[in-house]
Amino acid sequence: MTFVACAPIGRTVRDCLRAMRLYVSPVFLRENPLAFLAILYVALCFGFAFLRHHDRLGHDRFWHDGRYTISPVLAPIWWVSLYASFSAISLHYWRQIRPTTTYLLVRLQRAEYHGVLAVGLISIFLLALPPLSTGAPTLNCFALEAIGLFLWSGPRPANRAEALRGVMTPLGMVRFIGFFFLLVPRMQNYLFSVPWYVAVVIIIACLGMALRLYRFRDYRLAPETPRDLLASAPETLSTPVERVASFILWRPSRLVRLPLADPVHTGSPIAVALLVVGSTLIFGCLAEFIA
């Protein structure tokens, strides 16, 4: 009886480990520009935290009247690293779980669900290190990360129309407002200064909602992959614009064309590079302005 009871548990653990292995493989990076953005900002975040940790004044410079105040430079970098990391994890998860064939593979559904939860939990502990190294309260730091996980754990849009409609939904509005609201260091300081029991309530509530958002859904009736952007563009599009668009959306022929939605054309290396560079410049300007 003991062997029979342990067999399903062992199989579940092995399936979960196989799903987690994909997050450290080229599969995770393929057509996932948010992963490159996460790598860049996590490296910046850890580098800045390392410099602040070895500062001559130490942790005392971040505490005033018994309250922790995060560095105005570290705050936006850390928050964008949370956004990029959790969004990259969610993008990979929903790319794995949304194909029609996944509906028939219950074991695959369970493995991917357990895998994304485990990777999300590991990411929370790793991404907490930069603010913790500057003396941030542990529970309050986890509360902020739990909010970020909740904001960016929902399903990814299947096409451009769904992405536009998603912005107008209640969850889409919460994501949009929450991102810019907590990008400001003063707003983060409010959460860093709340009592520990309030932080625990935030952690439990946000993690519970993330568990609900990550649950599997039936996508057998999901809309088909939209046509290419140039094919759906209006006929009045001028020739120079067509040439520029075709150059930006160029896709190497050796890449595998999976029958999945690609609303931001992540298979186009030039478009991905422009997206990463543009996002970095925008968030860098925002961080400089806030600082």
Specify which residues 68 forms β-bridges with. 63
pLDDT in tens, 53-102: 655 455 556 777 778 888 888 888 899 999 999 999 998 998 888 776 66
| Per-residue confidence band for 126, with pLDDT thresholds at 50, 70 and 90 | very high
| The pLDDT of residue 269 | 74
Res 127 pLDDT > 50: yes
Contacts for 192-196 with beta carbons within 8 Å, 24 or more apart?
192/67, 192/68, 192/69, 192/70, 192/136, 192/137, 192/140, 192/141, 192/144, 193/67, 193/68, 193/140, 194/140, 194/143, 196/137, 196/139, 196/140
Report how far apart, in Å, the C-alpha atoms of 284 and of each of 127, 176, 217 are: 19, 19, 37
| Per-residue confidence band for 203, with pLDDT thresholds at 50, 70 and 90 | very high
| The pLDDT of residue 223 | 42
| The pLDDT of residue 119 | 93
Res 217 pLDDT > 80: no
Res 222 pLDDT > 70: no
- Tell me the pTM: 0.70
Report percent pLDDT > 90 for the chain: 19
